[in-house]
Structure 1
Amino acid sequence: MATPKSEDLLGQKWDRCVADTLIKMGGGLTLGIVFSAIVFKRRPWPVIFGLGAGMGMGYANCQHDFNEPFLVKAEKIFVKPKVASPPTAEPEDK
């Protein structure tokens, strides 16, 4: 199996980032509209706050995703046995 190119991996990260941010902004917008209509007598600030909170959460997730170091998969690590050294002669105590 061929390994994916770094451009493809970067593109996948960007796609996940944009999709995650849009979903979080949509959820914040929905909650903002609900709270604005029910609790805060149709004030605009809950909608704006919900959009901003969703954008902030999406940005934080993207930042974590892009700053993630290369993780080595545990099932791909091969442990080589140590080479046995010749036994050393220990002085005998009398």
Structure 2
Amino acid sequence: MATRSEDQLGIKWDKCVADTLLKMGGGLAVGAVFSLMFFKRRAWPMTFGLGSGLGMGYSNCQHSFDEPYLVRADRVKVRTAQQETAGPESLG
């Protein structure tokens, strides 16, 4: 049974939101550890970690949504100049 395109889009959005939240949480946690251990409890390492997590999540979402439009190298057919001048009947 085939799924509807709306359902596939919803699944992609759910995965993107979950992935982005996980990456932001991980970046925030790593930033908090670095802030406590190395940077005298400054706020910028946590902000940097949060922003890095958001950027990675956004990049993964962009890749996920652009996936149907990728050109697959195994499906590309190369034509030579001789085949183009011969016409479609000789391509067989």
Tell me the TM-score normalized by structure 2.
Answer: 0.74
| 1:29 Cα offset (Å) | 0.3
Counterpart for residue 19 of structure 1? 18
The residue type equivalent to 2:5 in the other structure is S
Cα distance per residue 1:6-40 (max 9 Å; x no partner): 00000000000000000000000000000000000
Is the aligned partner of 1:63 residue 2:45? no
Report the identity percentage.
Answer: 67
Q: Distance in 2 between matches of 1:31 and 1:41?
A: 15
Which runs of at least 4 in structure 1 moved beyond 4 Å after TM superposition? none
5+ residue gaps, structure 2: 71-92
SS in 2 for 1:43: coil
Is the aligned partner of 1:32 residue 2:31? yes
5+ residue gaps, structure 1: 72-94
Q: Distance in 2 between matches of 1:70 and 1:27?
A: 30
Q: For the aligned residues, what is the CA RMSD?
A: 1.2
Q: Distance in 1 between matches of 2:29 and 2:44?
A: 13
Give the greater-gyration-radius structure (CA): 1
SS in 1 for 2:2: coil
Tell me the TM-score normalized by structure 1.
Answer: 0.72
- Name whichever structure is richer in helix by fraction: 2
Q: Distance in 2 between matches of 1:40 and 1:70?
A: 44
